Amino acid sequence: MDMEVTAWMSMYNTMYAQQDKRPFSRATLLRISTFARPHRGRLLRFLVLTVVMAVLAVATPVLAGRVVNAIVEGDDPSVVYRLAALIAVIAVLEAGLGLLTRWLSSSIGEGLILHLRTAVFDHVQRMPVAFFTRTRTGALVSRLNNDVIGAQRAFSDTLSGVLGNLVTLLLTLIVMLGISWQITLLALVLLPVFVIPARRMGTRLARLEREAANHNSTMSTQMTERFSAPGATLVKLFGRPARESAEFAARASRVRDIGVRTAMVQSVFITALTLVSALALAVVYGLGGFYALRGSLDPGAVVALALLLTRLYAPLTALASARVEVMSALVSFERVFEVLDLVPLVQDPPAPKAVPAGAVSVELDDVRFAYPSADKVSLASLEEVAQLDTRGGVEVLHGVSLRVEPGQLVALVGSSGAGKSTIAQLLPRLYDVDAGAVRIGGVDVRELSAQSIRETIGMVTQDGHLFHESVRANLLLARPEAGAVELWDALRRARLADLVASLPDGLDTVVGERGYRLSGGERQRLTIARVLLARPRVVVLDEATAHLDSTSEAAVQEALAEALEGRTAVVIAHRLSTVRAADLLLVLENGRIVERGTHAELLAAGGRYEQLYRTQFDDSPVVAAVD
């Protein structure tokens, strides 16, 4: 490795190492070892080969010096041939071992990435909904990408680099001191001129790179939000394209300016260090030539010292930034472990019970509930704030009790914020209650596995969320083993079969991000088809027709009739006209059930339900907000 390459590598490592000075614990190192344990065999072979390659790297300059001596001394040509052949063999060995170590390095690193990514992905999937409502998606994805890759570098690059450089440095120093201790010490005097600028310039470049990365991150966020269907619509509706363009251009211009400054700093840095390396070689050739002319040093030794000099500066410079690289890798591990250490608030019981067969009841027994505060479900770094919001714990349900008999349809109505959607989220155990119990078929949901709850309860939310995948893929989320006949049957019952049949690719038509290629009513019917395919025994509808026009609502209501037939159902109603036929209506206000009865009974009672009903259907002005 020549001096210029060494300079680039030193600067690169310093630039891209995270300048984080946090101390790391012994527990972190022990935990890292658990991830390394499955790769210990390859890791050991990798380290052994790294040492062997370091020895070979020092052997070549020594042999080159002997070739020069053989030529100068007029030895038999066979000596030169043998030495040249040995150098060639070493070169072939270095090439072969280089490929082998690279394969081992890649397999270890990529295996570690696979292990860490799957561990984080699986853990995140077990987190409660509150975690996702607070966390920035980009920050979470960064843990699965940047930090996992940073951790991987500890094994594939940093570990081998430190070990290989230490061995190379020690062998090179021993050989150089053995040849000429005077020249070796003089060469080392120039080392600070080589290393100190690398550290300082690298730190300066790191600041520029971080600033550019921040601007690029902001631009990426801006593009992600503005290029989505709802974001682009919002920009167009408020007439802000010029303003958005100006903001984007300002950040892009700053990135351009940083790029120019970075290029100039790099050029000055490399030019200066190349000059230093040339001066160091000049010292070796000058002083070495002087000793050679006086007869106190062989000509071959001068050549060997010059070649060994590059083997000396390279590991010394690399080791100068090794601490930063090691700390960077450890910080990456700690950031990954930070996510893995978040304890899911909702966990399966050690010995889950089974949901009783047949139609089942749904019950809330004196339920009290408060949404968890941020410090219980999130991390400040994932929310990209300095400190987590500690607010929370305010009770939103106060001793709510209700029972839905098998096959019965119960509707929840009330003002916005009354607690209806909260109840809907407690039934499939998206959250756990603080007091009381939620039961399915008489069994507390905390005694059931998440899988059995999902198989029992199907839910249709008001946003009708779909993935940017095909109609088929979105349906198969409910039942992966379903065949085409079952898919078409679910679509027919959801009053969507004709539409899907008319699409260019039928079931394989991609619905777009969040299903925006479909209308609101079509999206909602597709989510209903998904529930029909799942065949749940309990259906929860959380304002499934809240944002639909009359035509779409009528189509969705037909589909819902199919979904609810013969099933236990809990319906959260925005439009009271959709739940007048419910077996039981429950009116919620401020987290309490204030009225219960049939539509006719509640109207006759003249209470809160009657007020809500009149607000929606009287010709008089609206006097109350209804969610």
Q: Which residue has the higher pLDDT, 381 or 342?
A: 342
What is the H or E stretch that residue 243 is in?
A: helix 241-293
CB 266 within 8 A of CB 11: yes
Q: What is the pLDDT of residues 410-422, one digit of tens each?
A: 989 888 888 888 9
CB 66 within 8 A of CB 300: yes
CA separation, residue 386 to residues 22, 131, 211, 290, 382 (Å):
16, 17, 19, 63, 10
What's the half-sphere exposure (Cβ side, CA atoms, 13 Å) at 451?
5
CA separation, residue 225 to residues 130, 135, 250 (Å):
22, 16, 18
Q: Which residue has the higher pLDDT, 471 or 150?
A: 471
146 contact partners, CB below 8 Å, separation of at least 6:
332
Looking up tokens 């001596």 gives: 69
> Given a cut of 80, is residue 343 above it in pLDDT?
yes
pLDDT the model gives residue 290: 85
Q: What is the mean pLDDT of residues 219-244?
A: 71
CB 35 within 8 A of CB 116: yes
> Given a cut of 80, is residue 402 above it in pLDDT?
yes
CB 280 within 8 A of CB 187: yes
Grouping H, G, I as helix, E, B as strand and the rest as coil, residue 616 is helix
pLDDT the model gives residue 620: 41
> Given a cut of 60, is residue 75 above it in pLDDT?
yes
pLDDT the model gives residue 335: 80
pLDDT the model gives residue 364: 93
Out of 16-25, 30-39, 376-385, 491-500, give the one with best mean pLDDT.
Answer: 491-500
> Given a cut of 50, is residue 20 above it in pLDDT?
no
627 band by pLDDT with thresholds 50, 70 and 90: very low
Query: Distance (Å, rounded) from C-alpha 252 to C-alpha 537?
Result: 54
* Neighbouring-strand partners of residue 569: 409, 539
**Sign of the torsion angle spanned by Cα atoms 422, 427, 431, 433:** positive
pLDDT the model gives residue 388: 63
Q: What is the pLDDT of residues 38-56, one digit of tens each?
A: 888 888 888 888 888 888 8
Burial class (CB in 10 A: 0-12, 13-18, 19+), 264: exposed
Q: Specify the range with the lowest mean pLDDT, choosing from 224-238, 257-271, 299-313.
A: 224-238
Q: Specify the range with the lowest mean pLDDT, choosing from 73-82, 379-388, 605-614.
A: 379-388
Which DSSP symbol is given to 145? I
Q: Which residue has the higher pLDDT, 499 or 380?
A: 499
Q: What is the pLDDT of residues 586-602, one digit of tens each?
A: 999 999 999 999 888 88
Give the global pTM: 0.68
Q: Are strands 443-444 and 435-440 parallel, antiparallel or unpaired?
A: antiparallel
Domain 365-379+390-617 has CATH 3.40.718.10: no
196 band by pLDDT with thresholds 50, 70 and 90: low
pLDDT the model gives residue 365: 93
Q: Which residue has the higher pLDDT, 54 or 553?
A: 54
pLDDT the model gives residue 273: 67
Q: Which residue has the higher pLDDT, 140 or 18?
A: 140
Q: Which residue has the higher pLDDT, 31 or 551?
A: 31
Q: Specify the range with the lowest mean pLDDT, choosing from 88-102, 177-191, 260-274, 576-590.
A: 260-274
Domain boundaries, the chain: 3-340, 365-379+390-617
Q: What is the mean pLDDT of residues 129-158?
A: 73
619 band by pLDDT with thresholds 50, 70 and 90: very low
> Given a cut of 80, is residue 540 above it in pLDDT?
yes
Q: What is the mean pLDDT of residues 434-442?
A: 92
Grouping H, G, I as helix, E, B as strand and the rest as coil, residue 371 is coil
Tokens of 294: 């006086």
Longest dimension (CA), the chain: 121
Q: Which residue has the higher pLDDT, 419 or 162?
A: 419
Q: Strand 457-460's sheet: what is its strand order?
A: 457-460, 538-542, 568-572, 409-414, 584-589, 592-597
pLDDT the model gives residue 369: 92
pLDDT the model gives residue 348: 87
CATH superfamily of 3-340: ABC transporter type 1, transmembrane domain (1.20.1560.10)
pLDDT the model gives residue 397: 92
Q: What is the mean pLDDT of residues 286-298?
A: 84
Query: Distance (Å, rounded) from C-alpha 158 to C-alpha 275?
Result: 28
Q: Phi, psi (5° rounding) for residue 162? A: -65, -50
Q: Specify the range with the lowest mean pLDDT, choosing from 265-274, 304-313, 472-481.
A: 265-274
Q: What is the mean pLDDT of residues 103-113?
A: 81
Percent of the chain with pLDDT over 90: 9
What is the CA angle 369-374-379, rounded to 5?
Answer: 145
pLDDT the model gives residue 96: 93
* Single-letter residue type at 110: E
Percent of the chain with pLDDT over 70: 80
Q: What is the mean pLDDT of residues 403-410?
A: 89
* Single-letter residue type at 360: V
Identical fold between 3-340 and 365-379+390-617 = no
Looking up tokens 């409502």 gives: 133
pLDDT the model gives residue 366: 93
Looking up tokens 């410079």 gives: 317
Tell me the average pLDDT of the chain. 79
Q: Specify the range with the lowest mean pLDDT, choosing from 206-215, 238-247, 459-468.
A: 206-215
Q: What is the mean pLDDT of residues 535-544?
A: 83
Query: Distance (Å, rounded) from C-alpha 521 to C-alpha 524?
Result: 5
Q: What is the mean pLDDT of residues 115-134?
A: 82
pLDDT the model gives residue 398: 92
65 band by pLDDT with thresholds 50, 70 and 90: confident
What's the half-sphere exposure (Cβ side, CA atoms, 13 Å) at 322?
17
What's the half-sphere exposure (Cβ side, CA atoms, 13 Å) at 17?
27
Q: What is the mean pLDDT of residues 221-246?
A: 72
pLDDT the model gives residue 286: 86
552 band by pLDDT with thresholds 50, 70 and 90: low
pLDDT the model gives residue 621: 42
CB 396 within 8 A of CB 371: yes
> Given a cut of 80, is residue 320 above it in pLDDT?
no
Q: Which residue has the higher pLDDT, 322 or 604?
A: 604
